[in-house]
Chain A
């Protein structure tokens, strides 16, 4: 087990910069999730750490060693691939034992480690089978086992759940997390699924276009997003945004756009620009009920209505051409095309700078 450090790492593929000045410190035994959309650089970061790509500049350390000039085999890391990459002609036992054999480990030690890993993953009865005779979930476990037997300094996982069906994915998510807690090996986990990121990571590193946007535990990233990108990427359904005019008069801040007008007394936010981006999460919006302490009402037309069983989500287009996702009770009777009025929960409105896209505070 070891600390993993990316220090100002840049990776360019010809003209394209896949990773830009990426710095991240992952503590010994920590479960770090790199999350972001396609092309965000998360897989590049993982491949650089694995040694499958050479970095353009910067430094990568595993423990006390600078590893960025070492071959993958000398880095003492193990990787779980998206497509599992099991050796098709080998049995499960041989797949698990391969890396240990390469290290010329004594046969009885190989046997002990393979059986121990198989026991942990409940795949003892599969040891004699070939990968093609296994289900997707079983292959996934073998791929985990292959990493586990190595007892490496760090586990690297590249979207290991993306080939599983939804139900198995949820189950395996918990198992991987539990397994990591048992062995306490530093883990770098790459995913584009923000639910996976939130539920599995001790900390989450949100990436976009080769840049690390924010790093923190799930709660802080969710509740205090650093910028518009993080606010929009983390959270499902996604945060709604509206560009509004902001005017500060004494203690009161008035946000307007067309017929939309929200006034609230706030401390701070001095020097707020005249134009800001307003962000609100769907769970902090509600259909308007007179007497409730909400900011609004805001009127608009229901574009779509999604009944999710436990709740209903209504997509609303306001007169000012702004789109909001509004949370409603499961028994809400709104139909697409109808006019609706809704309100926003005070204190839950995020304000972002239009230019820098950075968070200015909450209202």
Chain B
């Protein structure tokens, strides 16, 4: 290795470490803060270690924040919504990537609009629609709205993944006698597996982090982040307990990312080939 390439390598690492520190700084701060003693007069600051590690803060936050209920809601919504959204995205992405039909471009751009228009802009009419359907404060309100909301990105993502497959693969399947449905499940889905897993992880994270819809459409069916907001409203002075609540809410996503880390990276790369 030459001197200049060694310097470049050093600079690369330096940049990566710096970026990582910037990303991880607030996380470490929250974890440390969550272990401080509770009560007034104790103010966690930066990376300063707590005088004593108060592990029981987690149990207190779990109980007082009623996270069992909000976790259940988030889990129920995610378990129904993630597979539904991913399935519909796969079907939609496949159609846009491989089939020629009248108006396909216009319909695709309509889906892309969903990526551009913020939920906040449509929340009022949505509220009236959901109320008219009698779905206020139900799991279904969150499941249906989140599923449709995720499909804009999902279809865009899966279309790109399927477009990155060599056209000859589809043609070979057609000549071999496979119909569209078989080609999708036997050839294209295995081919796009990393992209599908990545979409699953991203959709799960979005679903788990859902805050705004839960705030507007539910009262007794709060999602975990909405539960956390309500908890922090009640314990604004106690930074340690709120921090413990924040860590609790983040743990499931962290687990999912760690488990699917390898596929997630592969998916991010393959999905980026064509747009």
Contact = CB atoms under 8 A, between A and B. Distances in A.
Contact of B177 (A79, A83, A84, A103): A103
B171 A81 contact: yes
B174 A72 contact: yes
Contact of B168 (A78, A81, A99): A81
A109 to B, nearest CB: 15
Contacts of B236: none
A77 B169 contact: no
Interface string B159-183: 0000000101101111111110010
Contact of A89 (B171, B172, B179, B191): B191
A85 interface: yes
A71 B174 contact: yes
Contacts of A146: 172, 176
A87 B169 contact: yes
Contacts of B182: 102
A171 to B, nearest CB: 24
A89 B175 contact: no
Contacts of A83: 166, 168
A88 interface: yes
Contact of B175 (A77, A82, A84, A87): A77
A73 interface: yes
Where chain B touches its partner, the secondary structure class is helix
- Kindly state the interface size class of chain B when it binds its partner: 10 to 19
Interface string A73-103: 1000111011111111100000000110011
Contact of A73 (B168, B174, B190): B174
B166 A73 contact: no
Nearest to A82: B168
Nearest to B169: A85
Given A85-B168, A85-B171, A87-B169, A99 B190 contact: no
B87 interface: no
Contacts of B172: 79, 81, 85-87, 146
A286 to B, nearest CB: 47
A50 interface: yes
Contacts of B88: none
B176 A102 contact: yes
B202 interface: no
B67 to A, nearest CB: 41
A66 interface: no
B191 A73 contact: no
A103 B176 CA distance: 9
Contacts of B31: none
Contacts of A51: 174-175
A85 B174 contact: no
A83 B172 CA distance: 11
A242 B196 CA distance: 62
B187 interface: yes
A73 B175 CA distance: 5
A319 interface: no
Given A83-B166, A85-B166, A89-B191, A98 B176 contact: yes
Given A83-B166, A87-B187, A89-B191, A50 B177 contact: no
A73 B176 contact: yes
A102 B166 contact: no
Interface in B28-60: none
Given A85-B166, A89-B190, A102-B182, A52 B171 contact: yes
Contacts of A79: 171-172, 175
Contacts of B171: 50, 52, 72, 79, 81, 85
B184 to A, nearest CB: 13
B177 A73 contact: yes
A308 B210 CA distance: 72
Interface string A56-73: 000000000000000111
A104 B234 CA distance: 65
A277 to B, nearest CB: 40
A99 B176 contact: yes
A85 B166 CA distance: 8
A102 B168 contact: no
A73 B186 CA distance: 16
B154 to A, nearest CB: 22
A46 B69 CA distance: 63
A82 B169 CA distance: 11
Given A87-B187, A89-B190, A102-B182, A78 B166 contact: no
Which A-B residue pairs are the 3 nearest by beta carbons?
Answer: A102-B177, A99-B176, A85-B168
17 contacts: A50-B171, A51-B174, A72-B174, A73-B174, A73-B178, A77-B175, A79-B172, A81-B168, A87-B172, A88-B190, A89-B190, A89-B193, A99-B177, A102-B176, A102-B182, A103-B177, A146-B172
Interface of B: 166, 168-169, 171-179, 182, 186-187, 190-191, 193
Interface of A: 50-52, 71-73, 77-79, 81-89, 98-99, 102-103, 146
Given A51-B175, A52-B175, A83-B168, 19 more contacts: A51-B174, A52-B171, A52-B174, A72-B171, A73-B175, A77-B175, A79-B171, A81-B168, A81-B171, A85-B166, A85-B168, A85-B171, A87-B186, A87-B190, A89-B190, A98-B178, A98-B186, A99-B175, A102-B176
